[in-house]
Amino acid sequence: MKKEVIRIEGGHELNGTVHISGAKNATVALIPAAVMADGPVTIVGVPNIEDVKNLTDILHLMNVKTQVKEPDHITIDPTEMENVVLDDSAVTKLRASYYFMGALLGKYKKVRIRMPGGCYLGPRPIDLHLKGFEALGAKIDYTGGLYTIEAEKLVGTRIFLDFASVGATINILMAAVFAEGRTTIENAAKEPEIIDVVTLLSKMGAEIHGAGTNVITIDGVKHLSGCFHEIIPDRIEAGTFIVIAAAMAKEMTVENIIPQHIDALLAKLQEMGVDMDVSIDKVVVRGRGRYKAIDAKTLPYPGLATDLQAPLTALLTQATGDSEITETIYPQRFKHCDQLNTMGADIDVRIPRAQIHGPKKLYGMDVYATDLRCGASLVVAGLMAEGVTTIHDIYHIDRGYEGIDQKLNRCGAKIWRETVEE
């Protein structure tokens, strides 16, 4: 079977500017949220990634019209929408298709949808989402891989999340937007993507308070209308490029970012000794330094993002001494470590920790992107390695990074795609 791979010739110094795209993890919630409106919603800053293409396919199944004006403008028109069963392969290609649960349950009081897909990071249950829907008055049936979630009416209530889950917070608040009365979500997640979704819903007419804190209050409304919204920059893409710059750039500017969103990463890079100037919407990195080993722990926002753990681990293979990363969000999210070890790294994984012994010279090898951020870590490693690295299963990378190869080539990297027989 023919498949596309990414090849990277390592060792080239990078220079220049990288412009960060709109946030993937906000976009994948904003698109389902948009269908709750009665009229067209225009979203600007939409990244050109596979997850967006799959979500657009799902919209078309529901007879929601979409219009792409500029490459990153999408207008979503749900005026003639039909609440069909979402049983298509597009649903299983990404995790975020589960946001249609909250959006459609809220709008129609009924949704039928296949179990969502997405990156395998160890078990990824959705029990908190479902408990939230039940608390609002929904009944749930799961038969043959298909969820049916329906309610005669949704009634606002108090919901305490056992874990501050990003997905559960967004899904429950979307369902609660049309519930009768007030819903309070306690121990809500505080990630910037949640604020972005609430900003969109508020522009549409929702009554939501407290986004960005751990208590979110939603007062139910009857209708939402169309609006215009610009997506926040992708803090994980920003962090990935800052890590790349620390590894390989003489001087690289990573622009169109909100540095506060990646404070925890910047603090860790400073501790390693990375030379950076942080300003309002960009970070200038003078990389290729000699770095110190560090200890780090992934945590809910504003802690170090689990999605940056893999790229940071790749950089730590070049730091002097023993680093330790503890993963508290997805304790089994260490598949990238096997791939990095194939390239010459010395990483011991003892779940939920990885010990990285550095510095170790990396060599170009055939490696596999087992998930999106594993793919990002292999790009970081490939740029640092001697020789040519071939990354397989790059559909994971294309799900979440817009033109990562083009952005890097503009800065002097040698990275290209090839179709190979597998």
Q: Which sequence positions are flagged as catalytic? A: 119
Please count the residues of this chain forming the interface with ligand EPZ, following the rule CB under 6 A.
Answer: 24
Please list the residues that pair with 230 across neighbouring strands: 44
Residue with tokens 């990483």, as numbered in its chain: 347
Residue span binding ligand EPZ (CB under 6 A) among the ranges 61-69, 106-114, 162-170, 174-182: 162-170
Question: Nearest distance from residue 1's CB to ligand EPZ, in Å?
Answer: 26
Q: Pattern of binders to ligand EPZ over 242-271, x per CB under 6 A?
A: ------------------------------
CB nearer to ligand EPZ: pick between 199 and 306: 306
CB nearer to ligand EPZ: pick between 170 and 408: 170
Q: Which of 51, 50, 106 is nearest to 83 (CA)?
A: 106
Q: Which of 338, 318, 336 is nearest to 248 (CA)?
A: 318
CB nearer to ligand EPZ: pick between 249 and 262: 262
Interface residue with ligand EPZ, options 90, 151, 262, 329 (CB under 6 A): 329
> For residue 230, what are its two tokens?
């610009």
First CA to last CA across the chain, in angstroms? 5
Handedness of CA 19, 25, 27, 28 (dihedral sign): positive
Q: Is 97 in the site for ligand EPZ (CB under 6 A)?
A: no
Residue span binding ligand EPZ (CB under 6 A) among the ranges 57-65, 158-166, 358-366, 401-409: 158-166
Question: Nearest distance from residue 102's CB to ligand EPZ, in Å?
Answer: 12
Question: Nearest distance from residue 197's CB to ligand EPZ, in Å?
Answer: 10
Q: What string of DSSP letters covers 163-191?
A: S--HHHHHHHHHHHTTSBSEEEEES----
Question: Nearest distance from residue 348's CB to ligand EPZ, in Å?
Answer: 22
Residue with tokens 């049983």, as numbered in its chain: 87
Q: Which of 150, 166, 7 is nearest to 95 (CA)?
A: 166
Residue span binding ligand EPZ (CB under 6 A) among the ranges 61-69, 147-155, 160-168, 348-356: 160-168
Q: Which residues in the 125-144 window bind ligand EPZ by CB under 6 A?
A: 125-129
Neighbours of 226 (CB within 10 A): 19
Q: In whole angstroms, what is the distance from residue 328 CA to residue 156 CA? A: 31
Strand order in the sheet with 295-298: 295-298, 321-327, 353-358, 347-350
- Is there a contact between 18 and 242 (Cβ–Cβ < 8 Å)? no
Is omega for the bond preceding 123 within 30 degrees of 0, making it cis?
no
Q: Is 147 in the site for ligand EPZ (CB under 6 A)?
A: no
Q: Three-class SS of residue 309?
A: helix
CB nearer to ligand EPZ: pick between 167 and 220: 167
Q: Which residues in the 335-394 window bind ligand EPZ by CB under 6 A?
A: 372-373
Question: Nearest distance from residue 387's CB to ligand EPZ, in Å?
Answer: 28
Residue span binding ligand EPZ (CB under 6 A) among the ranges 122-130, 263-271, 379-387, 409-417: 122-130
Q: What secondary structure letter does DSSP report for 370?
A: -
CB nearer to ligand EPZ: pick between 26 and 206: 26
Is omega for the bond preceding 47 within 30 degrees of 0, making it cis?
no
Q: Is 400 in the site for ligand EPZ (CB under 6 A)?
A: yes
Interface residue with ligand EPZ, options 3, 69, 142, 163 (CB under 6 A): 163
Q: Is 95 in the site for ligand EPZ (CB under 6 A)?
A: yes
Q: Which residues in the 272-311 window bind ligand EPZ by CB under 6 A?
A: 306-307
Phi, then psi, of 284 in degrees rounded to 5: -100, 125
Question: Nearest distance from residue 273's CB to ligand EPZ, in Å?
Answer: 27
3-state secondary structure 235-283: HHHHHHHHHHHHHHEEEEEEECCCHHHHHHHHHHHHHHCCEEEECCCEE
CB nearer to ligand EPZ: pick between 119 and 343: 119
Residue span binding ligand EPZ (CB under 6 A) among the ranges 161-169, 201-209, 317-325, 355-363: 161-169
Q: In whole angstroms, what is the distance from residue 173 CA to residue 7 CA? A: 42
Q: Which of 58, 62, 26 is nearest to 45 (CA)?
A: 26
Handedness of CA 173, 179, 182, 183 (dihedral sign): negative
Residue span binding ligand EPZ (CB under 6 A) among the ranges 124-132, 205-213, 219-227, 313-321: 124-132
Q: Which residues in the 20-49 window bind ligand EPZ by CB under 6 A?
A: 25, 28
CB nearer to ligand EPZ: pick between 72 and 371: 371
Q: Which residues bind ligand EPZ (CB under 6 A)?
A: 25, 28, 95-96, 119, 124-129, 163, 165-168, 189, 306-307, 329-330, 372-373, 400
